[in-house]
Amino acid sequence: MQDPGWKFREARERLNLTYRDVQEATLRIANVKLNQHYFLPISRLAEIENNSVVPTIYRLYSLCVVYRVGFLEALGWYGVDLREFQQDTGTYSLTKTHLLPAEVDERQEVDLPIRLDPGFNLSETSYLSRMIQGWGRLPLGLLRRLETRNYRYGYIGLDDWMMFPLITPGAFVQIDAEQRKLETEGWRNDFERPIYFIETRAAFICSWVMLLKPGHLLLQPYSLSPCRAEIKLLPDEAEIVGRVTGLAMQLAGAQAGRARVASVP
């Protein structure tokens, strides 16, 4: 792999810029942003190009602006590939429930089914793998433009048993951030009852909710959960992120969960 310093040198020479030109340009950027961390003196620029010195994130930004180099591309020169971000998050499992990052690299492509068996019927239970006749790669940027609702995504921590076994630890949930108004009646069973994703001072909580009185929010666990209900004050102690509208989880985790619940006194 070519040294990143050489790549920056090639970019500078392609634009016929001298070290002093770059220094003056980054000084203007630093002055505009009122942050001298963006400034790149001649001595540091020489070290980056000739001695493989890694620039700070601020100076890397300035170099990309001056040289008209994409910031993600420059990160790739140093071996940082943001397309692997979501994959790398799976190398370490968090025990706390949390929101997933909202930003993505829109240039990243994903494999998706693009042709299904004509006989595929959404009303019938099917083995989906046999229904997919063709796969293709689509950019995430296109998929984001096709999405018209304000969805966020959350992860249920491995120590979060609030909605077990309805939602098991390790599950991923889809959150509609536009649905923040609480529905306190109208459902016929537990599966229809709205579940909300709540941000508190200490943690994120995924649960049923009830409004006991103005400003007093009851976070209610599933009836079979070992967790206890909590009362939070709105908006000082809790904020409603949105309503859970989708769920993806492994049923195998429920078996281990039952053993965990059985051991809770």
The number of folded domains in the chain is: 3
Tell me if 82 is assigned to some domain.
Answer: no
Radius of gyration of the CA atoms of the chain, in A: 25
Tokens of 153: 């995504």
pLDDT for 37 equals 96
| 56 and 130 fall within a common domain | no
Give residue-wise pLDDT tens across range 22-55.
999 999 999 999 999 999 999 999 999 999 899 9
- Cα gap 9→77, rounded to integer Å: 13
Do 40 and 131 belong to one domain?
no
Residue 67 lies in a domain: yes
In a domain, 216, yes or no: yes
Mean pLDDT of the chain: 83
The tokens 């025990």 sit on which residue? Answer: 95
Which residues fall within 8 angstroms of residue 207, CB to CB, at 6 or more apart? 162, 163, 195, 196, 198, 219, 220, 221
- CATH number of the domain to which 167 belongs: 2.10.109.10
Q: Is residue 95 part of a domain?
A: no
125 and 194 in a common domain = no
User: Which tokens hold the place of 223?
Assistant: 């009836």
Q: Which domain holds residue 10?
A: 4-77
> Is the pLDDT assigned to residue 259 strictly greater than 80?
no
Q: Which residue has the higher pLDDT, 213 or 55?
A: 55
Please state, for a pLDDT cut of 90, what percent of the chain lies above it.
Answer: 52
> What confidence tens digit (pLDDT) does each residue in 117-176 have?
777 665 554 555 556 667 666 665 555 555 556 788 888 888 899 999 999 988 888 899
Question: Is 94 a member of any domain?
Answer: no
Residues 73, 161, single domain; the answer is no
44 and 134 share one domain: no
Let me know if residue 8 belongs to a domain: yes
- Within a domain: 138: yes
Residue 96: what pLDDT?
A: 85
Please check whether residues 141 and 166 belong to one and the same domain: no
Structure tokens at 176: 């509609």
Out of 115, 146, 177, a domain closes at 146
CA distance 50 to 45: 9
Distance CA 8, CA 213 (A): 61
For residue 193, what is the DSSP state?
A: S
Residues 189 and 123 in one domain: no
Q: What is the residue type of 170? A: G
Q: Which of 250, 245, 248, 249 is nearest to 147 (CA)?
A: 245
Is the residue at 181 inside a domain? Answer: yes
Are 20 and 116 part of one and the same domain?
A: no
Q: Identify the residue with better confidence: 184 or 22.
A: 22
Q: Which of 146, 178, 206 is the last residue of a domain?
A: 146
Q: Edge-to-edge strands of the sheet including 216-220?
A: 98-99, 151-155, 172-176, 238-248, 196-200, 204-213, 216-220, 230-233
pTM score, whole prediction: 0.61
Whole-number pLDDT of residue 257? 46
Q: What is the CATH number of the domain that holds 26?
A: 1.10.260.40
Which pLDDT does position 224 carry in this prediction? 93
Q: Does residue 206 share a domain with residue 124?
A: no
Q: Are residues 135 and 225 in the same domain?
A: no
Is residue 121 domain-shared with residue 210, that is, in the same domain?
no
